Amino acid sequence: MRVERLNLLGFRSYATLDVRFPAGPQVIVGRNAAGKTNLLEALVVMSLGHSHRTSTDLEMIAWDAPFARLEAHVGTGGPGTDDLELVLARPSAATTRKRVRINGVPRRGAALSAALRTVVFAPEDMLLVAGSPSLRRSLLDTLVAQKVIEGSATLSTYARALQQRNTLLRRIREGEASPDELRYWDGVVVEQGGRIVTWRLTALAALAGPLAEAHAEIAPNEGRLTLRYLTNAPRSAGESPEEALARRLVETSEKELWNGSTLIGPHRDDLAFELDGRELSSFASRGQQRTAILAVKLAQVDLLKARDGRPPLLLLDDVFSELDPQRRAHLVRRIGELPQAFVTTTTLDDLDPGLVAASTAWLVEPGRLEPAR
Question: Would residue 361 be called left, alpha or beta, if left means φ above 0 and alpha means ψ between -120 and 50 degrees?
Answer: beta
Would you call 264 helix, strand, or coil by DSSP? coil
Which residue spans within the chain are E strands per DSSP? 2-11, 14-20, 24-29, 67-75, 81-89, 97-102, 105-107, 118-121, 225-230, 270-275, 278-279, 313-317, 340-345, 360-365, 368-371
CA distance 162 to 186: 9
CA 308 to chain centre: 20
What pLDDT shows up at residue 324? Answer: 84
Per-residue pLDDT of 251-304, as tens digits, reads 999 999 999 999 999 999 999 999 999 999 999 888 889 899 999 999 999 999
Question: Pairing state of beta strands 225-230 and 81-89?
Answer: unpaired
Cα distances (Å, whole numbers) of residue 269 to 34, 229, 370: 36, 8, 43
Residue 161 has pLDDT above 90, yes or no: yes
Domains annotated on the chain, with CATH: 1-117+310-373 (3.40.50.300), 120-309 (1.20.1050.90)
pTM, two decimals, is: 0.90
Q: Pick the closest to residue 27 from 19, 35, 18, 36 (CA basis).
A: 36
Confidence of residue 92 (pLDDT cuts 50, 70, 90): confident
Mean pLDDT of the chain: 92
Angle at 149 between CA 67 and CA 129, to 5 degrees: 85
Instruction: Confirm if 269 and 197 have CB atoms less than 8 A apart.
Output: yes
Reported as half-sphere exposure (CB side, CA atoms, 13 A), residue 6 has a value of 22
Reported as half-sphere exposure (CB side, CA atoms, 13 A), residue 259 has a value of 11
Per-residue pLDDT of 31-68, as tens digits, reads 999 999 999 999 999 999 999 888 889 999 998 899 99
Amino acid in position 251: E
Continuous H helices in 49-132: 112-115
End-to-end CA distance of the chain: 25
User: DSSP letter string over 307-323?
Assistant: HHS-PPEEEEES-GGGS
CA distance 363 to 5: 17
Would you call 238 helix, strand, or coil by DSSP? coil
What pLDDT shows up at residue 317? Answer: 92
Amino acid in position 284: A
Angle at 110 between CA 123 and CA 147, to 5 degrees: 70
Residue 205: strand pairing partners: none
Per-residue pLDDT of 109-124, as tens digits, reads 888 988 999 999 988 8
What pLDDT shows up at residue 139? Answer: 93
Confidence of residue 81 (pLDDT cuts 50, 70, 90): confident
Instruction: Confirm if 60 and 45 have CB atoms less than 8 A apart.
Output: yes
CA distance 264 to 101: 37
Residue 341: strand pairing partners: 25, 314
Would you call 3 helix, strand, or coil by DSSP? strand
Residues 211, 217, 221, 222: what is their CA dihedral angle, to the nearest 10 degrees? -30
Question: What does the pLDDT average to over 320-325?
Answer: 83
Residue 95 has pLDDT above 80, yes or no: no
What pLDDT shows up at residue 134? Answer: 94
If you ran DSSP here, which 8-state letter would residue 346 be given?
A: S
